[in-house]
Amino acid sequence: MTSDTHVPCRKPGSTDTPAIPAQNRGSHLHGLAGFNAAAPVEAEALLLSCCHSRRWAERVAAHRPYPTVDALLAAADEAGYDLSRADLDEALAAESSALPHPDAPPAARTALRAAHAAYESSFGHAFVISLDGVRPGERLDQVLAGIRSRLGNEPEEERVVAADELRRLARARLAFRLAEALTPRHSGP
C-alpha cells in the first residue's frame, strides 16, 4: 500500500541504494537549507527514499538550490512526469505493500493481503496509492476500494494511474522528510 509518508519507499533489505549516512540523518539535512547544501550523494539518497528512480533523484538534486519548498516540490512533480518506462519500472519495483494498522480486524487484514496479491499478480508491482490527507481510520477502506476499482484497469491505463499515484507519494514523502528534519526530536518513548 506504500501510501503513508512514514512508509519507506525501498523494500526492506534492499542494498542497491546508498542510505543516508547515520551521522547525517536528521542532523545535517535540516529542511530546505540542508537539502540545498548537502553533497549530491546525500541529496540523492534522501530523494531515493521518496521515489526510487535514480534518474528522478539525480534530476531533482541537480537543480539545487531551490528558493522554496514549493519550488522543490514542483520540480519533483515535473521530474515525475518525465519518468521513462524504465524509470517508472525501477521506482515501482522498489515499492512494497504496507501492512494495515495492527488494530485492524483479522478479516480486514486477510482482505487486504488478498487484494494486494491479486493486484500484484495482475500488474507485476505493488499497489501504490497516496493517502495524503486521508484520516487514519479511513485508510484501510480507501486502499481496499482503490485496489478493487483499479483491478479492472487495462495494464497501460493502470501504469498511468500508478505513475500519478507515485508522483503524489514522492511529493508527500519529500515534504514530510523536509518537515521532519525541522521538527525537534524528543528522547524517550
Residue 19's pLDDT is what? 33
More confident residue, 7 or 106: 106
What's the whole-model pTM score? Answer: 0.80
Cα 163 to Cα 91: distance, rounded to the nearest angstrom: 9
Rg of the Cα atoms in the chain: 17
Whole-number mean pLDDT of the chain?
A: 83
Cell 497501460, residue?
156
Q: 29 pLDDT band (50/70/90 cuts)?
A: low
The model's pLDDT over 136-186, given as tens digits with 9 standing for 90+, comes to: 889 999 999 999 999 999 999 999 999 999 999 999 999 999 988 655 444
Cα 113 to Cα 143: distance, rounded to the nearest angstrom: 11
Cα 81 to Cα 174: distance, rounded to the nearest angstrom: 16
Residue 48's pLDDT is what? 97
Distance of CA 6 to the CA centre of its chain: 9
The model's pLDDT over 76-88, given as tens digits with 9 standing for 90+, comes to: 999 999 999 999 9
Cα 176 to Cα 179: distance, rounded to the nearest angstrom: 5
Whole-number Cα distances in Å, 159 to 106, 124, 142, 174: 31, 11, 19, 22
Residue 104's pLDDT is what? 86
Residue 26's pLDDT is what? 39
Distance of CA 140 to the CA centre of its chain: 17
Give, in degrees to the nearest 5, the angle at Cα 107 between 12 and 153: 70
